[in-house]
Copies of this chain bind each other. A is one copy, B any other.
Amino acid sequence: MPNPTLDRTDLLLLAELQRAGRQTNAELAERVNLSPSACLRRVQRLERDGVIAGYRAVVDPERLGLGLQAFVRVQLSRHDPSAIEVFGEFVNQWDEVVACHALTGDMDYLLQVVVRDLEHFSRFLLDHLLNQAGVDDVNSSFVLRTVKAFRGMPLPGR
C-alpha cells in the first residue's frame, strides 16, 4: 500500500491541489489536459491511496490576532516511556502548540508555538510548559520573519 507509482500527471494534479485545493474538477481537468471524468478518477485514487490525506483551509494567523510565533526546544527531565507519553498528551491538548516533533540532537523536542503576543507566550510557558509536563529545560526562539512559508510537499521529478 505504499506507492502505486505516480506518473507525471499525478504529480501535476498534486502540485495543483497543493496550490489551490478547492478548484472545481472541471478547472483542474483543463489545467492538466484531462477530461473531467478521467481527472476525477485520478484524484479519487490519490485520496483512496492516502497520497492526499485531506484538504485544509489556510488561515492567516495575523487576522486572528495571533501575532507571535516561536520555536521552543524542550528537554524532558525523565525519559522513561510514561514521561514521554504524558508529555505527548499535554502537547496535543495545548492549542498554542501547532506542531511538535521529537528530534535527534541536544534537545528532545521542537515545538512550534502560535500565540497572540509575548504576554500570552509567557503565560503559556509558565502555566503549562514548565509547570505540568515534566520539562527540564526550554530554549525559545521567536520568529522575526517568514522567509519561506509552507506551501506543500516537494514533488519529485518535474
Instruction: Please list the residues of chain A having a beta carbon within 8 angstroms of any beta carbon in chain B.
Output: 2-3, 6, 14, 17-22, 49-66, 69, 71, 87-88, 91-92, 95-105, 107, 109-110, 112, 114, 116, 139-156
Across-interface contacts of A151 in B (CB, < 8 A): 56, 98
Contact A98 B51 (CB under 8 A): no
Interface residues of A: mostly helix, strand, loop or mixed? mixed
The answer to whether A60 and B51 touch (CB under 8 A), given A104-B141, A147-B102, is yes
Q: Is the CB of B49 within 8 A of A53?
A: no
Q: A65, A146, A148: which has the most chain B beta carbons within 10 Å?
A: A148
Q: What distance in Å separates the Cβ of A20 from its nearest Cβ neighbour in chain B? A: 7
- A20 cross-chain contacts in B, Cβ below 8 A: 54-56
| Pairwise interchain contact A88-B57, C-beta atoms closer than 8 A | no
For the complex formed, measure the closest distance between the CB of A149 and the CB atoms of chain B, giving whole angstroms: 6
